[in-house]
Amino acid sequence: MRNIFNYVDRPSPIHRLTGATKLVCLLLWSFAAMSTYDTRLLVFLTLLSLVLFALSRIRFSDVSFLVSFMAAFMVLNNVLIFVFSPQHGVTLYGSSHPLLSLGGQYVITREQLFYHLNLVLKYFATIPIVLLFVCTTNPSEFAASLNRIGIKYTVAYSVALALRYIPDIQKNYHEISQAQQARGIEMSRKQNLVKRLKSAAAILIPLILSSMDRIEVVSNAMELRGFGKGKKRTWYMGRPFRPADILAMVFCALLLAAAIALNVLNGGRFWNPFR
């Protein structure tokens, strides 16, 4: 992977929103999805996120790697919860409707299944939105977005710099590791820990030393072109907000408000259909 962004350049209404809008919406949306276990809202968010995903013209093949990674994580999360607290749903919802006994405390209850359903819905409500952000935000716009939501531009720019130099460092790492393997460094997992640490040092030390040279060049180049001169700077890739941006942010703020309101109405984060 070239960097954390997996930008897919295929114009869509989602692409047209500014990076800052998408970042704000992502944050509001995830807070909304995270704060509540209200199934009705989670179903709504899930359906809406799928619609948005379709609207963005991102294909499943563009994101299959990320999706399978997250799906595996989701399964693991659910399995572990069941293994460590199979009666969590019963505690939460205050009733027990057993369906099947697996022996000992491992009794499958409707409450537990309902809790897992909510958990899965949370994943489904957020993952498409995260993918949307990752695939429709031009990495060049990202630093400008961070700056716009109030993060200092020197800090925001360091993110852009990381995006710029990570591929270079990966390439450098690859080259160094090849040359060191030729000198007999073993990279296989068969080695014991001490040997593996030694091998890692044989690659990391040259990597760090050659990166240090690089840092000096970069910081000189930046200073020579006025970086850090003023309190503010403009962004070539920054775009002004348009009505659609405002609309999107207001809508996501309403979602968060709805989540909070439901939590108040439900008297907690859980909506209980068993009562």
Partner 1 sequence: MKDTTEREPIIEFRDFGFQYNAQAEPTLKGIDLQIRKGEKVLIAGPSGCGKSTLAHCINGLIPFAYRGTITGSVTVRGRETQDLSIFALSRTVGTVLQDSDGQFIGLTVAEDIAFALENDCVQEPELHDRVLRAAGAVGIDSHLLNAPDQLSGGQKQRVAMAGVMVDDVEVFLFDEPLANLDPATGKSAMELIDEIHDRTGAAVIIIEHRLEDVLHRSMDRIVLMNEGRIIADTDPDTLLSGELLRSHGIREPLYVTALKYAGVRVTPELKPSSIRSLRLGPEEKQKVLDWYRRTPPSPAPPPRPVLLKAEDVTFSYDGRRETLSHISLEIFRGESLAIVGTNGAGKSTFSKVVCGFEKPQSGTLCFTGLDWPSLSLKERADHVGYVMQNPNQMISKPMIFDEVAMGLRNRNVPEEEIRPRVEQALKTCGLWPFRNWPVSALSFGQKKRVTIASILVLEPEIIILDEPTAGQDYRHYTEIMEFLRELNARGVTVVMITHDMHLMLEYADRSVVFSQGRVIADDSSAAILTDPDLVRRASLKETSLYGLALLCGIDEPKEFVRRFIDFEREAYRS
- To partner 1, the closest distance from the beta carbon of 188 in angstroms equals 11
DSSP assignment of 163-229 equals: HHHHHHHHHHHHHHHHHHHHTT---STTS-HHHHHHHHHHHHHHHHHHHHHHHHHHHHHHHHTTTTS
* Closest among 28, 24, 52 to 260, alpha carbons compared: 28
Q: Which one among 28, 52, 125, 176 touches partner 1, defined by CB under 8 A?
A: 176
C-beta of 67 vs 161, nearer to partner 1:
161
The interface mask with partner 1, positions 125-154, x = CB under 8 A, is --------------xx--------------
**Ranges within 181-240 binding partner 1 (CB under 8 A):** 181-186, 201-203, 205-206, 209-210, 213-214, 217-230, 232-237
- To partner 1, the closest distance from the beta carbon of 152 in angstroms equals 14
How far, in Å, CA of 236 to CA of 241, rounded? 15
How far, in Å, CA of 176 to CA of 229, rounded? 37
- To partner 1, the closest distance from the beta carbon of 228 in angstroms equals 8
How far, in Å, CA of 65 to CA of 15, rounded? 21
* Closest among 240, 252, 236 to 16, alpha carbons compared: 240
C-beta of 183 vs 275, nearer to partner 1:
183
Task: Please tell me the number of Cα atoms within 13 Å of 243 on its side-chain side.
Answer: 0
Give the interface size with partner 1 as a residue count (CB under 8 A): 49
3-class state of residue 237 by DSSP: coil
From 10-18, 107-115, 125-133, 180-188, give the range in contact with partner 1 by CB under 8 A.
180-188
- To partner 1, the closest distance from the beta carbon of 248 in angstroms equals 22
- To partner 1, the closest distance from the beta carbon of 1 in angstroms equals 14
Residues 6+ apart with CB under 8 A from 250: none
C-beta of 83 vs 216, nearer to partner 1:
216
C-beta of 47 vs 221, nearer to partner 1:
221
* Closest among 55, 44, 65 to 125, alpha carbons compared: 44
Q: Which one among 172, 191, 266, 272 touches partner 1, defined by CB under 8 A?
A: 172
* Residue ranges in contact with partner 1 by CB under 8 A: 139-140, 160-161, 163-164, 167-168, 172, 175-176, 178-186, 201-203, 205-206, 209-210, 213-214, 217-230, 232-237
